[in-house]
Structure 1
Amino acid sequence: MSDEELAKDLGLVSAMTIGIGTMIGAGIFVLPGVAANAAGPIVVVSFVVGGVIAMVNALSVSELGTAMPKAGGGYYYINKSLGPMFGSIAGMGDWMGLAFASAFYCIGFGQYLAVFVGLPTIAFLNPIQVGALLAGAVFVGVNYIGAKETGGVQTVIVFVLLAILTAFAIAGFLSFDYATLAGEGGLAPFGTGAILPATALVFVSFLGYAKIATVAEELKNPGRNLPIAIIGSVAIVTVIYAVLVTTMLGVVPWPELSQDAPVAQAAQVSFPSSIGPIGGVAAAAAAVMTLGALLATASSANASILASARINFAMGRDKIVTNWLNEIHPNYATPYRSILVTGALIVVFIGLLGRDIEVLAKAASVLHLIVYALMNVGLIVFREADVPEYDPDFTVPLYPITPILGALLSLGLVAFMDAVEIALSGGFVLAAVVWYFVYARNKTTQQGVLSRYVRRREGEFPDRVVDAADAVAPNGGDGPTIMVALANPRTESALITLAGALAEHEGGRVLATHIVTVPDQTSLATAAENRERIDASSEELLDAAKVDAEAFDVPIETRTILSHRGIEEVFDAARTNDADTVVMGYGGARFAGGRVEGTLDELTHDLPCDFLVLDGQEMTLSDVLVPTAGGPSSDLSAEVARALRETVDVDVSLLHVVDPGGEADGREFLSDWAGGHQLEDAELLVEPGDVETVIGRVAPEYSMVIVGATERGLLSRIVRGSLTFDSIAALDVPVLLTERPSSRTLRERILGRR
């Protein structure tokens, strides 16, 4: 089996231009006049403050993007970290935020189009709104028929825009007059208190850098290039905004700066004075700036509509919205329904709110700022939950200060929005929460990292926190997946019993897999064509699994997998099927395919989920012994013991081995540990001596021993051996080894921590 990948053909420049091209849109071509009218010349500081807030968030986006380079952006990170309720908020926020932003870009397009071409007034729509609706229809149509977006095209657009803006900046610099910039009221005619409200208005100019993370899978060397592209694009755009806005205000007095086409106006004033009295220069400069504005706003609007379709598709895949929305067009192969719904929203926003561009700009910003805040929280959750697959190549500096600051700055800026934008955005957030509880909660099976973290450590959190996690947890689908890797008919029944007990306890399902190892000399295609004998033996094994699973009230799915690899394929199957726990036999882990070296490397590198390895064939459970010294894998042992107690009614005994004289402290530790893992009624055994001897003496009295991996790791126990495992491997009772994923390094997993 091999995962499909997109060709990594985007370089650093292409990635950076995606961010720059998305950000340089109506923000710089439209907002300077509106923002200057509200704050005066100090609005330049507002653009810089907006860039600083964007930069802090860009650091977090860079870490998330390098940790999950196949992800689809903010929605994915939030849904995976905080769970589907917050995923619903993020998905709705991203979707509606992009719709508001698209409407804003279309209005910007309409403003410059109205300058360039005479447009009529139709009904209650002014000429700018008419132009915006025409633009919106074209952009929706382009996405409907599936025009391809490429890094090369975006690169050309960005360099054309930068060339136009550079020419304007040079001409403006030659015409710059500080007296014009300061004006009669000075640099801050409305006081410095106007800076942050103006920042709230212009922040829409910085939306788009996170889009780079959505193409991370296509990026060459994403661990290096992704953070450079994201952070670099924000830095470049911030400098461009500061220079251009300063230039505009030094050429045209801020009270006179156009609120519709400020760049064209400033160009018309600056070029004659810099070039001389050449006929038509001013008009030509204004025309070029207008064409640049049309190109920039068109690029931003088109990219926003495209991104909204991707978000809807991701939400449909996770069953948060109906897949009806993602129906693919039979001819154009595009999610046409999603595009049409988004287009309809854009039309409504243009028609109802298009006369007040500030509302569109701020509503887009509020929704995106909420998503950014949640992304920062999600990063903290990933870090604190120690998720093994979360392995970013870039990490934010000064953790956890940076993500905390990003969340606070994002939500703090929302406070400077007007009541109408906050109410609009709040309505969409509330609608997302209602939608989750009415529809999505009963459909989706996605468990967030936060929810799993709280549930696995119930004893460490107040009851209110655990109750809250349960209250918002999804209850759709089959719940957690317990995957069983079957290899030997003699161990099938015992493994299915363990998996069935866990699945019933957690409200999950069992996935029984039979991985058939094909010799390297035989192609998988050839093996598949001649699999009658394979199917017969595999079907017999999997049919027996179905029969044994009937003892538990759980659904079971069976699957045969042909592979050149043995144990390694277990890990691929676990990842592919999003397994929460893998149950397998010790013989399969120890000797699978005779590939111990490959096994060693695979098992010691970031387990995809919890692993349970059973050393034993027949299992008649009546009582189990759980030796513990604390730690994540002992937590997993406790969960297994609790599941067996509540599903097959076994008695549980807990064992803690101490040095002679440490019995009192040992009993206090074990009592606290039992209470924290809901095993208060278990028998507590505190024995002095060495672990090997004590387990060897106590274990034969029980029907099974459940041992959590120590810091040496599960593989070190199985392949290399340890004193503890050597002693209990010789026991006649079944032994279940448990390991919970951790962030140990490869050396630590193999050799242990010194």
Structure 2
Amino acid sequence: MSDEELAKDLGPLAALTIGVGTMIGAGIFVLPGEAVATAGPLAALAFVLGGGIALLTAFSASELGTAMPKSGGAYFYVNRALGPLFGSIAGWGNWIGLAFASAFYVYGFGEYIVRMAGITFGPVELAFLSLSAAQLIGLGAALLFITVNYVGAKETGTLQNVIVITLVGILAVFTGYGVMNADLATLRPIVPPDKGIAPLLPVTGLIFVSYLGFVQITSVAEEIKDPGRNLPRAVIGSVVLVTGIYALVLLAVLAAVETELVANNDTAVVDVASQLIGPIGAAALLLGGLLATASSANASILASSRINFAMGRNRLISPELNEIHPRYGTPYRSIAVTGGFIVLFLLIGDIRTLSTAGSVLHLVIYGLLNIALIVMREAEPEEYDPDYRVPFYPVTPILGAILSFALIAFIDARVIALCIAFVVIAALWYLVYARDKTDAQGVLSEYILNRADEMPEPAVTAATSVQPDGGTYRVMVPLANPDHETDLITLASAIANQRNGTVVATHIVQVPDQTALEHGADHVAELDAESEQLLERARRDAETFGVDVETKTILSHRSFEEVFDAARTDNADLVVMGWGPDAHGRAEDRIDELTGSLPCDFLVLKDRGFDASRILVPTAGGPDSAFGAAVARLLAAEYDSEVSLLYVRDDDESAAEAEAFLEEWASDHDLEDATLSIERGDPETAIERAAADHTMLIIGATEQGLLSRLLGGSLIDDVTKTVDCSVLLAQKRHERSLRERLFG
């Protein structure tokens, strides 16, 4: 049952571990040398200041996380509050920022391997590049981590906890030795006399990459026990704890040894540990550095695919980028593209450039996140009901936004220019590519446009000029049989109404091959006397839903095949059509299946009376069943339907595994309120039995190859023939190779 899905299994300590584990990484193991060389003992204050800026954003992230517990984290909050233009900037900034950070982490990993193995070979010339030993080893590490994520090897929560505890333990012992050997005179003067406090803010920008990741806790908000209380504790507590650890480590180091030992040393903590503790200490810090850099790199690559998924769901990037690998079950294209960025940045960047670039892009995101909070508070959309509220509002988010953006100004001008270029590209990407594909308008635009008479004209003009055009979501309905026209239009209109879209009722009139189409156009009334009447009835039916409707007649020598060309010509996002006599478990006929791909998503209705009150969605986790879930969600919103999910487990799969899969699948597809059902045995029998209590069956198109269906038939065809309710075949547009089309 759906109420059983709501059980939370992440306690406050587990949630805190996620935040600490994503932050205690390469920053404290790699950056102290660079930071101390620039600012001396003042570098410890830079870590505190960086933590303070992160803390302000942590307050805002906590409130937004309890109000909108969705995957995508900061990207989702910015996109929902400020709209898809800023969502594109936040999404691309987060994506590219993580790629820069990952390149920095693997570079640090290379530095620690070089130190551990005593590698001494010099730069290697590769084409027009000169690569250090650390870069070459980092390149190998990057390819390894990319491959691990590509093939879907999973890091368990237990392993992550062990890594976090190990790192904290190593740093605690290290700090203890530093305190025991501390000489406060070594810290003087804290402010370099020749530089003053001028290096403080540039160094803060350099080390800010050490604070990336605390927002990731909000991505698992739905799994946290008592999230209104424990999520803010985990987000805010992780920043406070990590800031304290960083500051104590650096102060202990600088008080225990001469500053010169730390400055300009990428593995400074190892040298300090060697001097304070001996070989065992050096080995422990080397191990800690390797664990930290490896864990940070792997976690960043993993997080990037979640951002891409959220952007693809909002159509800010092509959903095809998130296509799941048929064997590994991973978003392999997304991981491969992210990996390409990581390798590129590693080859052309140095430690300082990589860390500051990651910092700048995330500072942009954190600034926007604080603004997003202000927008949600002031606009007060109906769905915004956080369990936690930021203290000292509006001072806290305003200060968080100002400091995040202001810190950027103190970072290297070349890095700022590079990141501005990425921001501009992200904005252009939205305006040129994504604007006519996404339909989700931000709360800010809604607030301004709904009060256009009260708002300044420039604000209204700006909101209008960048609002998404994806509201013209086009649902094409090819009409042929008057008996089923009403139900097809009803289905299409319900979906278009939920997507703020348009219904395109299309009557394809088949002209005999012997008749020229130009001649047929003059005699369309004679060729099909029902055309005008059919389209007029379709218009009336669609208008009862209050949706925009277009009608058109297409003359063609073909009938079924013309549907695909018409969908391409009309830029249809979805085609809703009737179940033809040649249906075989997929929307296209066998020739079209072999020769091409669908031009858009398809729904094929086996009409036994349109009734969406009780919907059954069987799933095995494929892309078409995911599309079926999206359709069920739209129909449920339109008709207040009861939705049931069915999973048929294999004999070698335990009930607990099946239940865990179905609960996660329901959550991933926003069907937490659905009734969950798990059967065992023959899928056809199980679906038929479950469908007896439902009015509509939404089933994903078969992934069987054509040859196997010709020889053995299709489960979908068999089920469709035996169930009494209407059947809706859902088929998502995605590429399949010729081999997959033939053999599955």
TM-score bin (small chain): 0.5 to 0.7
Pairing 1:72–2:129 present: no
Report the Cα distance in structure 1 between the residues aligned to 2:104 and 2:115, rounded to whole angstroms.
17
Matches within 5 A, 1:235-250: 235-250=240-255
Pairing 1:348–2:332 present: no
Report the Cα distance in structure 1 between the residues aligned to 2:51 and 2:316, rounded to whole angstroms.
33
Residue 229 (structure 1) aligned to one of 215, 231, 234: 234
Pairing 1:193–2:198 present: yes
Query: In structure 2, what is the equivalent of residue 253 of structure 1?
Result: 258
* Contact 2:502 2:548 survives alignment (8 Å): no
Question: Mean Cα displacement is larger for which, 430-439 or 189-198?
Answer: 189-198
Residue 436 (structure 2) aligned to one of 427, 442, 457: 442
Per-residue deviation at 1:434? 0.9
Query: In structure 2, what is the equivalent of residue 130 of structure 1?
Result: 136
* Contact 2:471 2:500 survives alignment (8 Å): no
Pairing 1:307–2:303 present: yes
Q: 1:163 to 1:394 in 2, by over 3 A?
A: same
Q: Deviations over 1:234-283 (max 9, x none)?
A: 00001101100001111222233152101111111111xxxxxxxxxx12
Q: Deviations over 1:575-615 (max 9, x none)?
A: 943999x799xxxxxxxxxxxxxxxxxxxxxxxxxxxxxxx
Which 5+ residue runs of structure 1 have no aligned equivalent? Answer: 272-281, 482-491, 512-542, 565-571, 585-754
Q: 1:139 to 1:574 in 2, by over 3 A?
A: closer
Query: In structure 1, what is the equivalent of residue 166 of structure 2?
Result: 160
Counterpart of 1:311, as a letter, is I
Matches within 5 A, 1:419-568: 419-478=413-472, 508-509=501-502, 547-549=540-542, 553-554=548-549, 560-563=611-614
Report the Cα distance in structure 2 between the residues aligned to 1:579 and 1:26, rounded to whole angstroms.
47
Give the paired residue count: 520
Q: 1:283 to 1:583 in 2, by over 3 A?
A: closer
Describe the SS at the equivalent of 2:611. strand
Q: Deviations over 1:611-630 (max 9, x none)?
A: xxxxxxxxxxxxxxxxxxxx
Query: In structure 1, what is the equivalent of residue 666 of structure 2?
Result: none
* Contact 1:62 1:213 survives alignment (8 Å): yes
Residue 339 (structure 1) aligned to one of 323, 335, 339: 335
Counterpart of 2:183, as a letter, is D
Report the Cα distance in structure 2 between the residues aligned to 1:80 and 1:473, rounded to whole angstroms.
13
Pairing 1:173–2:166 present: no
Q: 1:6 to 1:341 in 2, by over 3 A?
A: farther
Report the Cα distance in structure 2 between the residues aligned to 1:151 and 1:188, rounded to whole angstroms.
47
Counterpart of 2:254, as a letter, is L
Describe the SS at the equivalent of 1:554. strand
Report the Cα distance in structure 2 between the residues aligned to 1:347 and 1:312, rounded to whole angstroms.
18
Describe the SS at the equivalent of 2:51. helix
Matches within 5 A, 1:719-734: none
Q: 1:134 to 1:424 in 2, by over 3 A?
A: same
Matches within 5 A, 1:12-31: 12-31=12-31
* Contact 1:5 1:217 survives alignment (8 Å): no
Q: 1:383 to 1:177 in 2, by over 3 A?
A: same
Matches within 5 A, 1:50-69: 50-69=50-69
* Contact 1:101 1:301 survives alignment (8 Å): yes
Report the Cα distance in structure 2 between the residues aligned to 1:64 and 1:415, rounded to whole angstroms.
27
Q: Deviations over 1:31-87 (max 9, x none)?
A: 111001101111111111111101000000000000012342011111111111111
Counterpart of 2:177, as a letter, is A
Q: Deviations over 1:84-103 (max 9, x none)?
A: 11111000000000000001
Q: 1:364 to 1:420 in 2, by over 3 A?
A: same
Q: 1:480 to 1:235 in 2, by over 3 A?
A: farther
* Contact 1:81 1:378 survives alignment (8 Å): yes
Matches within 5 A, 1:381-392: 381-392=375-386
Describe the SS at the equivalent of 1:246. helix
Per-residue deviation at 1:229? 0.3
Per-residue deviation at 1:310? 0.7
Q: Deviations over 1:607-659 (max 9, x none)?
A: xxxxxxxxxxxxxxxxxxxxxxxxxxxxxxxxxxxxxxxxxxxxxxxxxxxxx
Per-residue deviation at 1:404? 1.0
State the TM-score, normalized to the length of structure 1: 0.64
Counterpart of 1:198, as a letter, is V
Counterpart of 1:175, as a letter, is N
Report the Cα distance in structure 2 between the residues aligned to 1:217 and 1:195, rounded to whole angstroms.
39
* Contact 1:14 1:154 survives alignment (8 Å): no
Q: 1:188 to 1:203 in 2, by over 3 A?
A: farther
Per-residue deviation at 1:562? 2.3
Q: 1:312 to 1:583 in 2, by over 3 A?
A: closer
Report the Cα distance in structure 1 between the residues aligned to 2:435 and 2:222, rounded to whole angstroms.
30
Counterpart of 2:115, as a letter, is V
Counterpart of 1:56, as a letter, is L
Question: Mean Cα displacement is larger for which, 66-75 or 284-293?
Answer: 66-75
Q: 1:231 to 1:578 in 2, by over 3 A?
A: farther
Counterpart of 2:461, as a letter, is D
* Contact 1:480 1:579 survives alignment (8 Å): no
Counterpart of 2:634, as a letter, is N
Query: In structure 2, what is the equivalent of residue 408 of structure 1?
Result: 402
* Contact 2:472 2:502 survives alignment (8 Å): yes
Counterpart of 2:221, as a letter, is A
Report the Cα distance in structure 2 between the residues aligned to 1:3 and 1:546, rounded to whole angstroms.
41
Describe the SS at the equivalent of 2:198. helix
Report the Cα distance in structure 1 between the residues aligned to 2:22 and 2:303, rounded to whole angstroms.
11
Describe the SS at the equivalent of 2:171. helix
Describe the SS at the equivalent of 2:290. helix
Q: 1:190 to 1:370 in 2, by over 3 A?
A: same
* Contact 2:32 2:266 survives alignment (8 Å): no
Report the Cα distance in structure 2 between the residues aligned to 1:583 and 1:6, rounded to whole angstroms.
24
Query: In structure 2, what is the equivalent of residue 84 of structure 1?
Result: 84
* Contact 2:612 2:635 survives alignment (8 Å): no
Report the Cα distance in structure 2 between the residues aligned to 1:553 and 1:576, rounded to whole angstroms.
21
Query: In structure 2, what is the equivalent of residue 683 of structure 1?
Result: none
* Contact 1:451 1:473 survives alignment (8 Å): yes
* Contact 1:39 1:188 survives alignment (8 Å): no
Describe the SS at the equivalent of 1:41. helix
Per-residue deviation at 1:407? 0.6
Per-residue deviation at 1:549? 2.5
Report the Cα distance in structure 2 between the residues aligned to 1:463 and 1:576, rounded to whole angstroms.
38
Matches within 5 A, 1:361-376: 361-376=355-370
Larger Rg: 1
Residue 157 (structure 2) aligned to one of 129, 133, 151: 151
Q: 1:218 to 1:578 in 2, by over 3 A?
A: farther
Pairing 1:290–2:262 present: no
Report the Cα distance in structure 1 between the residues aligned to 2:3 and 2:81, rounded to whole angstroms.
23
Query: In structure 1, what is the equivalent of residue 314 of structure 2?
Result: 318
* Contact 1:41 1:188 survives alignment (8 Å): no
Describe the SS at the equivalent of 2:327. coil
Describe the SS at the equivalent of 1:40. helix
Per-residue deviation at 1:152? 2.6
Report the Cα distance in structure 2 between the residues aligned to 1:374 and 1:60, rounded to whole angstroms.
11
Matches within 5 A, 1:100-119: 100-119=100-119
Q: 1:336 to 1:383 in 2, by over 3 A?
A: same
Q: 1:386 to 1:574 in 2, by over 3 A?
A: farther
Query: In structure 2, what is the equivalent of residue 587 of structure 1?
Result: none
Per-residue deviation at 1:118? 3.9
Query: In structure 2, what is the equivalent of residue 605 of structure 1?
Result: none
Counterpart of 2:332, as a letter, is Y
* Contact 2:22 2:213 survives alignment (8 Å): yes
Describe the SS at the equivalent of 1:199. helix
Report the Cα distance in structure 2 between the residues aligned to 1:129 and 1:343, rounded to whole angstroms.
15
Counterpart of 2:148, as a letter, is V
Report the Cα distance in structure 2 between the residues aligned to 1:88 and 1:470, rounded to whole angstroms.
17
Report the Cα distance in structure 1 between the residues aligned to 2:38 and 2:419, rounded to whole angstroms.
22
Q: 1:546 to 1:219 in 2, by over 3 A?
A: farther
Per-residue deviation at 1:466? 1.2
Q: 1:386 to 1:125 in 2, by over 3 A?
A: same
* Contact 2:98 2:304 survives alignment (8 Å): yes
* Contact 2:613 2:639 survives alignment (8 Å): no
